[in-house]
Copies of this chain bind each other. A is one copy, B any other.
Amino acid sequence: MTKPSKDTYSAALVVIGNEILSGRTQDTNTGWIATQTGAMGIILQEVRVVQDDEKEIISAVTDLRKKVDYVFTTGGIGPTHDDITAEAIAHAFGTELELNDEAFQVLIRHYGKEEEVTPPRKKMAMHTKGAILINNPVSGAPGFQMENVFVMAGVPRIMQSMFDDVKTKMKTGKPVMSNTIACKLLESQIAQPLSDIQDNYPTVAIGSYPHFRGGLLGLSLVLRSIEKDPLDRATAEVIAMITRLGGEPNALSIQSAAKGLATD
């Protein structure tokens, strides 16, 4: 892995799939990728879910790869007519697909012999000119990297296996640490003191998330930072604030906290 040249890197994800936009399939790749990249100091800044439409894929990838360090795509690299991601990426880079001999050899090994690599399967060895392959230990057909764009499968298990290889191709920064404190207060009760704490710790991102659980409105306060010291201090202040307001702080998940802070 290359040495980081900055504290954190940025990333975006393009989810390609009518099945997500129709409500048929619940996307779970976003959360999984976000967790993986956060731990590597690569901050997921935006996700776009687009249709299986070349113009839309090109537009999303082109916009985002200027905006962030790394762009991931998931979906649309199989053998069927609705799998158009590889071609769209080629066109986004002003080039065409070509048979990638390395990918073709991978498919021959995966399926046992060359005759088994039928024309639809061979389509999965058609990659953008100049692409670097992404290993797919689950189902053979590789993903590929073009500059800062990583093109992966949509099926979570396959995407996750590809991501092991993608990880080795990115620079990494300082991991994002996150502390979550739940409490029994209302957002309107903590709004002002929480805002004051936020003002004092500009390098800590503090979020307030109400939720329904068992019919009751609950509240989680989440503090995220790549810097341990301000994160610890801001967390201590949030816990003290909740205690002061009688809200029974409950340290749900603490990745970084000075000793004795977590009340759990």
Contacts and interface: CB of A to CB of B under 8 A. Distances in A.
Interface of A: 15, 18-28, 30-35, 38, 43-52, 56, 78-83, 118-121, 123, 139, 155, 157, 176, 178, 180, 187-192, 194-195, 198, 205-212, 217, 222, 224
B178 A79 contact: no
A111 to B, nearest CB: 9
Contacts of A78: 187, 208, 210
Contact of A38 (B22, B46, B224): B22
A15 B31 CA distance: 14
Given A46-B56, A210-B155, A188 B81 contact: no
Nearest to A35: B23
- Dominant secondary structure at the A interface: mixed
Nearest to A180: B24
B80 A194 contact: yes
A194 to B, nearest CB: 6
Instruction: With a 10 A CB-CB cut-off, give which of A80, A83, A155, A195 has the most chain B CB atoms.
Output: A80
A80 B208 contact: yes
5 shortest A-B CB distances, which residue pairs?
Answer: A23-B34, A120-B191, A81-B195, A23-B35, A47-B49
B139 A217 contact: yes
